[in-house]
Structures are given as structure tokens and as C-alpha cells.
Amino acid sequence: MAQNAQGNDPQGVQEGLGVRQDEEFSGTRPVEERHRIDELRLDGWMRQNVESYRGPLVVLQFKGGQSNPTYRLDTPDKSYVMRRRPFGKLLPSAHAVDREFRVIAALGMHGFPVARAYALCTDDAVIGSAFYIMSMEEGRVFWNPLLPSQAPDARRRIFTSKIETLAKLHMFDPDAIGLADFGKPGNYFARQVDRWTRQYRASETQHIPEFEKLAEWLPRTVPPQQRVSIVHGDYRLDNMIFHATEPRVQAVLDWELSTLGDPMADFTYLLMQWTMPGLEHADLKALNIPSMEEAAQIYGDATGTAVPDLNWYFSYNLFRLAGITQGIAGRIRDGTAANAKAMESAKRTVPLSKASWEYARKAGAE
């Protein structure tokens, strides 16, 4: 089964922490009218810029995704994937497909499992927005973290591969792979709290008292940063493609939120998935899925990382998701949301803010 949707973008991130059904989000559909592009012009550009490309071109749209529209491009020889910026009014720093292209190109050159980065186009005249072309990876996407289709041994090996792949990402020296300037200097968490507060303010459609308290408390209590690595920003099971037959990661997808920062952000976001619907109340031992403590141990053995007190980090992660879902609400208001399920995601802002404040209280907030 060929899967490369990258549709599980940050605007859908809070859903991915729970259970989603494979058939609802996997696969392709005809291109929506509002997402149509000039296919002849794209074909001409690919002939000039994509190595070994040969048309004619058939364009479909992946079902998943609420952020950067993602297309499957079929030719007689092979298939490609195109990610583009949405049309219309956008927040200043959002939907930076050039950054996505840059990070997967750098990581791919150094043996990290990503799709092959073919070409980037920043000329809006071609299809109406910036876009890039990458390989269509063959393999499997698992949307349900309980992995009901897999045998017990495969479940553990799939989770282990997922965790060890994140560890590998965090062990790269950004300077050594040409990404020294991929993020800003200073404390990553402080920057992220500021970023998502600003996105919330730019998209604000309602007053949420818990969010206001968090926006005041989190910046005052940011933990010290021990080191800097590449961080993915949305690292979860259904943002990766697994080998067609082997329980190993073939390609990590959806790099829209990637930057340089504190690996604790990715690591604690990974652990938080054990607190969400799906894994939260599951009989992990019977399923042969690692517990949160075992997951932390796998990561720690690969990186030398000790598990910190998680309450602040879990509060931060939920705060960040609230900022993201509020951004979706703003995009619904502005008419640029790229998926019909955006309204459902936007409604999560209040419960995410309340849950974040509960973790903040456990971490000492009053």
C-alpha cells in the first residue's frame, strides 16, 4: 500500500494523539475545486526541475490534512507527492514549505528516513503558491496507536522503531548537516510559548481564562535548556510511514513545525501520547506495547537522556495545541482552512486549555 499523505499536519496534531480511523484519513480523492491548480503549468515546471520526470501527469489530493494541501502526482513511471502553501490570507510564519523542503533534504543526505526531496518552487506564478516535490514512499501508515492489525511482537518492534528513530533525529549535530541556522538562538520553550501565544492572539475568537493564565505562567517557569537539536514538532505514529512488511520506520513525514530547539519538546510530546485516548486506558502489557516508562527507557538508552518532571512539559504541549487549534478557528473565520474537519478541531481549544492548566497546577501554578 502506497502512503505518503503528510496530511497529519500540525493543524490536526491534537487528533493524532488519540485514535483516528485509517479509512477516513488514508488514500486520495479528486482535487477539491478550491484546491485546483494549473496542471499543465505544473507538468512543464516538473519537466525542467525534477530529475528523470516524464509525464503525462495525473493529480489527486490526499484525504488527510488541514494545513498544507498535499497532492499525489502519478506518472507512467512513478508517483510523487506535492506539498503547497494554502491559497489566501495566512499567518506570517505559517505554512513554510521551503523549511520543510530544506530539513528533509538535509536529513535525507545523512541517512535519516525521510522522503526524497526533489525540487522546491517559490514562484507563485507556477500554481499560485510555493510548493515542493518529494518522493512517494511505499509502505504503511498506522492511525490507531493500538495497532489492532499487528501481531504482539510487531507492535513492540513498531513502537521501538518509532522511539529509536526520534532518538536518531535528536543525535544529529545541526551544524554538521548544514542546519546551523535552521532555528533561532535562545531558549526554545520560551520562543515556542511566545509563538503560540501570538498565533492565538492573531486568531482569537473567544476568551478562555485558562489560556490567559497559562500565557502568563508558562514564560515565568520555563525550564533551562540543556542542549539543542533538530526537533520535529509533531512526532507521532501516524506521521510516519513504516516499511511494507517490516516493523521499521521508512520515512518520517510532516516537518512543518520542525526547527532547532530543545529535544525535550519532542520527547515529552512523544510520552504524552500515553496519556491520550487510545493508549491511556489500554492493557499495554497484553498488547505488548511499551509503557510510558519503557518508552522513556528506550529513548534514554539511545540518547543518554533522563526523564524530567513531566507536568510542566505536558502543560506546555497542551498549551501549544490550544494555540494551534485556535489558529484553525481563525482560518475558518478567514476562509482558508483546508479540510472540512477543521471546525471539529477548532472546538478543542477550550478543553485543551483546561487540561493544560490542570498540568500547570500539578507543576505548582496557582
Query: What's the average model confidence in pLDDT over 125-138?
Result: 94
CATH of 10-135, one of 3.40.50.2300, 3.30.200.20, 3.40.640.10, 3.30.70.20: 3.30.200.20
At residue 18, the pLDDT reads: 43
Cell of 340: 472540512
DSSP assignment of 41-92, as one string? Answer: HHHHHHHHHSTT-----EEEEES--SSS-EEEEE-SS-EEEEEEPPSS---T
At residue 69, the pLDDT reads: 87
Please state the domain extents for the chain. Answer: 10-135, 152-362
* Percent share of the chain, pLDDT over 90: 75
Quick: pLDDT tens for 184-196.
Answer: 889 999 999 999 9
Q: Which residue would you say has higher pLDDT here, 334 or 223?
A: 223
* Percent share of the chain, pLDDT over 70: 89
C-beta separation of 49 from 69 below 8 A: no
- Structure confidence at residue 90 as a pLDDT band (50, 70, 90): low
Query: What's the average model confidence in pLDDT over 11-22?
Result: 43
- Taking alpha carbons only, the member of 105, 164, 99 closest to residue 135 is 105
What's the CA gap between 358 and 362, in Å, rounded? 6
Q: How many residues does the chain have?
A: 366
Measured CA distances, 168 to 141, 180, 217, 301 (Å): 20, 17, 33, 11
Cell of 279: 493508549
Predicted confidence (pLDDT) at residue 94 exceeds the cutoff of 80: no
CATH of 152-362, one of 3.40.50.1580, 3.90.1200.10, 3.40.30.10, 3.40.50.2300: 3.90.1200.10
At residue 24, the pLDDT reads: 52
C-beta separation of 255 from 104 below 8 A: yes
pLDDT winner (highest mean) among 81-90, 325-334, 354-363: 354-363
Measured CA distances, 340 to 8, 32, 52, 345, 361 (Å): 14, 11, 36, 10, 35
Q: Look up residue 157 and give its amino acid.
A: R
Cell of 38: 494549473
Question: In degrees rounded to 5, what are phi and psi of residue 72?
Answer: -100, 130
The label of the residue with cell 489560556 reads 211
Residues forming a β-bridge with 81: 72, 134
Q: Look up residue 365 and give its amino acid.
A: A
Instruction: State the alpha helices, DSSP H only, in 221-262.
Output: none
Question: In degrees rounded to 5, what are phi and psi of residue 136?
Answer: -90, 110
At residue 342, the pLDDT reads: 74
Quick: pLDDT tens for 312-346.
Answer: 999 999 999 999 899 888 888 877 765 667 777 77
- Global pTM reads 0.87
Predicted confidence (pLDDT) at residue 63 exceeds the cutoff of 60: yes
Lowest mean pLDDT among 93-97, 279-283, 324-328, 329-333: 93-97
At residue 228, the pLDDT reads: 95
At residue 19, the pLDDT reads: 43
Q: How far apart are the first and last CA of the chain?
A: 50
Q: Look up residue 90 and give its amino acid.
A: L
Mean pLDDT of the chain: 89
